[in-house]
Amino acid sequence: MTRPAEGYSLIVFDWDGTLMDSTPTIIAAIQAACRDLGLPAPPDEAAAWVIGLSLQDALLAAVPTLQQSQVPDFVARYRFHYLTRDPQLKLFDGAEQVLASLAERGARLAVATGKSRAGLDRALKATGIGHYFDTTRCADETFSKPHPAMLLEIMRELDVDPAGAVMVGDTSHDLHMARNAGIHGVGVTYGAHAREELASCGPQALVGSVRELDAWLSGRVAALAR
């Protein structure tokens, strides 16, 4: 995969752990739901690993003792604990400025997330940044990560060639999805997965902060008329 000389024309962002500082909240909600149902709660690392997957896939992976018959109750308890913390969630410092800068330069922006449509719409409304994105895809609308469907659908909708697209995310699920879709991936190490795991996915770059992400993208974005 080689980047065209004029730069990336499409930047696709993961949401949780990449734009929004929500990793600790998701971990706490999974663990609290386990306690409500009398199930062994996963350690932080195991709960963090499933972030980015669709909710049902994530819960079954994080809580291997969860029975299929318990899934509805578990989902309800997870959502209760998550939503009680939801109003306090914030974007990472500088995240909106990165989006504004990219949009000003003419880049097309999108979101590919393991959140539900209802969850992403709620987050976009609360943060007020929905207008930066040309399109978004959620796990309850198509295949979950690391299947490439979300990225392929976004590129098809926006008529962007894979060579001109890059996926930015904080998990190996994001980077595997990028590779499966034939596009570049950039891993951010301030989210859910450890730097070593991200590095094993062969990303184009690893960045340790929103400021580093801004610097890396700033010289690699094609200036296009919107």
48-75 burial, b at 16+ Cβ within 10 Å, e below that, comes to bbbbbbbbbbbbbebbeebeeebeeebe
What DSSP character marks residue 60?
H
Which pLDDT tens digit goes with each residue over 9-34?
Answer: 999 999 999 999 999 999 999 999 99
Sheet containing strand 108-113, edge to edge, reads 135-138, 108-113, 10-13, 165-169, 184-188, 205-207
Nearest to 115 by CA among 91, 131, 136: 136
- CATH number for region 10-21+90-218: 3.40.50.1000
φ and ψ at 84, to 5 degrees? -65, -25
Active-site amino acid positions? 14, 16
pLDDT for the residue numbered 226: 40
pLDDT exceeds cutoff 90 at 216: yes
pTM of the model: 0.91
Tokens of 215: 């610097």
Is residue 9 within 8 Å of 160, Cβ to Cβ?
Answer: yes
Three-state DSSP state, 6: coil
